[in-house]
Every structure is written in structure tokens, then in C-alpha cells.
Amino acid sequence: MSDYRTPLSRVKGLGSAKDGTSHFWHQRLTAIALIPLVLWFGFGLASLPTDYDSLTGYIQQPAIAVALILLIASVFYHAQLGIQIILEDYVSSHAKRTLMIIAVSFTCLICALIGIVAVIKILVGA
């Protein structure tokens, strides 16, 4: 027997990182969600005039606002997970790496919330 893990830890399948494959899995889930969202966003935005009334009028359609909120949430979650991997690969100092991951996580969360609140504000015309 070369496996020293307890039966409980094996059945939980969480490994040394304590969160199992959830990071990997969420990175893929957000990637899949972003496939239709990115195509819609790229071509949807390209086919709009860039003046204030056209853009706000577009976002004031509820379906567009929902898609935009989904895009913002998926993008920043995906970005946070991705940048974390890059930091884990390239920043060797444990303290520096942890601080940078925390800073990136907070920045992504704040940006996502600012974006979502902005979309809702445009939607309700406040």
C-alpha cells in the first residue's frame, strides 16, 4: 500500500489543496458559459452605434441586461481563477503570492459588482 490517506479523505477526494478539483472545474464551467456570451458580446457591440442613447437603449432591454450581467459575472470569476493560476506558477514567494491572489480576488469582485450595479442602474433608468 503506497496510499497513506485515510478512507475518509480518499472518499472526499479533496487532495492536498483542500478544495479538490473545484478550481479546475469552475474555470471550465465559466469558459463554457462564456462561449455564447463572448460571440454575442463581440458582434452585438460591434453592430451598435457608440453614442450614449444607442448604448443605454440597448442595455435597457431586460434580456440584454441579463446577458450583460451573466457576462460580467462569468468574466470576472474566470479572470480571478486564471490569474490565480498564473500567480501560483510564477510568483515563488509564498507571502507575496498569497497577497497578490487576495488583491486580485478583491479587485475582480469589486469590478464585477460595480459593473452589475451599473447595468441595473441603466436598466431601470435611475
Partner 1 sequence: MNTNSRHPISPHLQIYRLPLTALLSITHRATGVILALGAVLLIWVLASLSAGPESYAKVQPVLQHWFGQLVLFGITFSLYFHFCNGIRHLFLDVGMGFELETSDRTAKLAIVVAIILTIATWVVAAGME
Number of residues that bind partner 1 (CB under 8 A): 38
Contacts for 42-48: CB closer than 8 Å, 24+ residues apart = none
Q: Tell me the one-letter amino acid at 73.
A: A
Q: How far is the CB of 47 from partner 1 (least distance, A)?
A: 5
Query: Distance (Å, rounded) from C-alpha 4 to C-alpha 58?
Result: 58
Retrieve residue 83's grid coordinates: 490569474
Pick the binder of partner 1 from 6, 16, 47, 92 (CB under 8 A): 47
Q: How far is the CB of 76 from partner 1 (least distance, A)?
A: 6
Retrieve residue 37's grid coordinates: 456570451
Query: Distance (Å, rounded) from C-alpha 9 to C-alpha 24?
Result: 19
- Position 101 contacts partner 1 (CB under 8 A): no
Give the residues lining the site for partner 1 (CB under 8 A).
28, 31-32, 34-35, 38-39, 42-43, 45-52, 55-56, 59, 68, 72, 75-76, 79, 82-83, 86, 108, 111-112, 114-115, 117-119, 121-122
